[in-house]
Amino acid sequence: MSGLVEGRTALVTGAAMGIGRATALAFAREGARVVLADVDAGAGEATADEVRGLGREALFVRTDVSREPEVEALLAAALERFGGLDCAVNNAGVTGAQGAVQDIDAEAWARTLAINLSGVFYCLKHELRAMVPRGAGAVVNVASGAGLIATPGLAAYCASKHGVLGLTKTAAVENARSGVRINAICPGTIDTPMLRAAMSLGPEIEKLILAGSASGELGRPEQVAEAAVWLCSDRASLVSGESMLVDGATVAR
């Protein structure tokens, strides 16, 4: 049987590790050629090699999504190499500025939103410019459970992810007749290098993070990746404007 996205071209940002890496590999297993973007060129190229190891074509383009000219160059490279774009997962993000609202440095705040929110906007803008003229395509923006509920100590991250959901819904409505679907996924507590780095700050932090999961366990990047690929497939043909929780009932508590 053919894969969910057999013969299509998919773009994944933040593809060097974690959810992005798992998503790039999931697209490859389901039959897509993959364009990978990340600021970490070494790890990004390593993921591209893994995609090729699955028998699929891969192109890595080092990209800082907070810089629109680099995003525009990424899309240009994808279109030049593969002739079009069918799917995109805008995953690149950072935890960013931490602390109580009154203690957050303005520069750190701006940097967090530049990557997590403006970066998604730049990617979505240029992906739509590639997809809308063809009358088909699917985009998934990676938000977070923090896009739906408060996250004390992470106001910038929380605000950026709430913004991603608003952007997703607006773009979905604007493109409801264009043939392009736009959705978001909201991962819960997922076992990624970024999360592990936070947990390593101390046993009390690790305990707090695990307590934030309804199951008391960490989710796997592959579980989020499967949801993203499904949303980009024809099996989700009537799904647009959705903010899909992938969190094991954590926000539902």
Residue by residue, DSSP assigns 158-188 as HHHHHHHHHHHHHHHHHTTTTTEEEEEEEE-
pLDDT of residue 149: 93
Mean pLDDT (the chain) is: 95
Per residue in 49-72, pLDDT tens? 999 999 999 999 999 999 999 999
Domain for residue 251, yes or no?
A: no
Domain for residue 1, yes or no?
A: no
* Contact residues for 116 (Cβ-Cβ < 8 A; gap 6+): 93, 94, 96, 157, 160, 161, 163, 164
Asked which of 26-35, 54-63, 192-201, 235-244 is least confident by mean pLDDT, the reply is 192-201
pLDDT of residue 159: 98
Domain for residue 134, yes or no?
A: yes
Instruction: Residue 149: give its domain's CATH number.
Output: 3.40.50.720
Q: What is the pTM of this model?
A: 0.96
Domain for residue 128, yes or no?
A: yes
pLDDT of residue 199: 73
| Separation CA 149–CA 224 (nearest Å) | 19
Range ranked top by mean pLDDT from 2-6, 42-46, 152-156: 42-46
Catalytic residue from among 156, 157, 160, 171: 157
Whether residue 122 lies in the annotated active site = no
Domain housing 148: 9-246
Domain for residue 136, yes or no?
A: yes
Domain for residue 154, yes or no?
A: yes
C-beta separation of 17 from 46 below 8 A: no
- Terminal alpha carbon distance of the chain: 39
Per residue in 79-95, pLDDT tens? 999 999 999 999 999 99
pLDDT of residue 1: 54
Domain for residue 92, yes or no?
A: yes
Domain for residue 252, yes or no?
A: no
Number of domains in the chain: 1
Per residue in 145-204, pLDDT tens? 999 999 888 899 999 999 999 999 999 999 999 999 999 999 999 999 888 877 776 777
